[in-house]
Amino acid sequence: MMGRSFRVFFSGVVLALLTVISVQGQDAKAIVPRIEIRQPRPGQALQGSVRVIGSTNIRNFAHSELAFAYQENPTDTWFILAESEQGVVNDVLAVWDTTAITDRIYQLRLTVTTKENQKHVYMVERLRVRNYTAVETDTPQPDWQAQSESMTTLEPTQLPNTPTPLPTNPLTLRQSDLTQSALKGAGIVAVFFLIGTLMAILRSKTA
């Protein structure tokens, strides 16, 4: 009887440990909600049809809009490339036919609207459309200038895209909170299981 009780006790401990490990693994694989444009990069020279690749999978996603404008845009005039009601992760947002526009410097704007009607914007600037003119050699900016102007460098490998900071959502749960809650729950289950097993062992001794 004691041997059977010990096996049950040992099985319960192993099950609790496997539950904790499984929760940690699922949390590590969770996709962080974000918006971004991965391609093209700031300052890149563009020719022909260009695939705009990015992500729009922020929490409570409702609608996204991708648009372009001249880099110098005093009238704030934008031309829509694509709209979607489906969030994507590292996928094609639109195919931009740059042969239909003049060779100039442009900017892209990705706007994502949430179900609470909050708008989040991601910009990629100084895109050089060069279908009918020669492509210039990229000239890196001085460090002080790169620090003062976000996403304006002509060397895309030196400065990563930086999204516009998103306002803090007080209702958003951090991944650390979810992990802690899951671990506490698994721990409570393990404790109750161990208590039940010990009570069964005590009953077998007194029987």
Co-location of 45 and 20 in the same domain: no
Residue 18 lies inside a defined structural domain of this protein: yes
Boundary residue ending a domain (131, 148, 165): 148
Residue 173 region by backbone torsions, left for phi larger than 0, else alpha for psi between -120 and 50, else beta: beta
Indicate the SS3 state at residue 184.
Answer: helix
Co-location of 24 and 45 in the same domain: no
pLDDT at 105: 98
12-16, 86-90, 186-190: range with lowest mean pLDDT: 12-16
Residue 169 lies inside a defined structural domain of this protein: no
Residue 6 lies inside a defined structural domain of this protein: yes
Confidence band of 196 (pLDDT split at 50, 70, 90): confident
pLDDT at 152: 33
Residue 121 lies inside a defined structural domain of this protein: yes
pTM greater than 0.85: no
pLDDT at 9: 53
Give the number of C-alpha atoms closer than 13 A to the C-alpha of residue 170, restricted to the C-beta side: 0
Co-location of 44 and 144 in the same domain: yes
Q: Cα(158)–Cα(124) distance, rounded to whole angstroms?
A: 15
> Tens of pLDDT along 147-169?
333 333 333 333 344 444 444 44
Residue 124 lies inside a defined structural domain of this protein: yes
Boundary residue ending a domain (148, 164, 192): 148
Co-location of 18 and 44 in the same domain: no
pLDDT at 97: 98
Co-location of 24 and 67 in the same domain: no
Q: Cα(98)–Cα(37) distance, rounded to whole angstroms?
A: 17
Residue 167 lies inside a defined structural domain of this protein: no
Of 140, 176, 138, the residue nearest 159 (C-alpha): 140
Q: Domain count for the chain, please give it.
A: 2
Residue 192 lies inside a defined structural domain of this protein: yes
Tokens of 48: 């022909």
Residue 65 lies inside a defined structural domain of this protein: yes
> Tens of pLDDT along 113-150?
999 999 999 999 999 999 999 998 765 444 433 333 33
pLDDT at 108: 98
> Tens of pLDDT along 24-71?
444 444 455 789 999 999 999 999 999 999 999 999 999 999 999 999
Co-location of 118 and 60 in the same domain: yes
pLDDT tops 90 at residue 101: yes
Mean of pLDDT over the chain: 75
**Do β-strands 119-129 and 45-46 pair in parallel, antiparallel, or remain unpaired?**
parallel
Co-location of 42 and 115 in the same domain: yes
Co-location of 44 and 24 in the same domain: no
Co-location of 132 and 181 in the same domain: no
Q: The domain containing residue 41 runs over which residues?
A: 36-148
* 98: CATH: 2.60.40.10
70 strand-pairing partners: 106
pLDDT at 198: 75
User: Could you write out the DSSP letters of every residue in 88-117?
Assistant: -SSEEEEEEEGGGS-SSEEEEEEEEEETT-
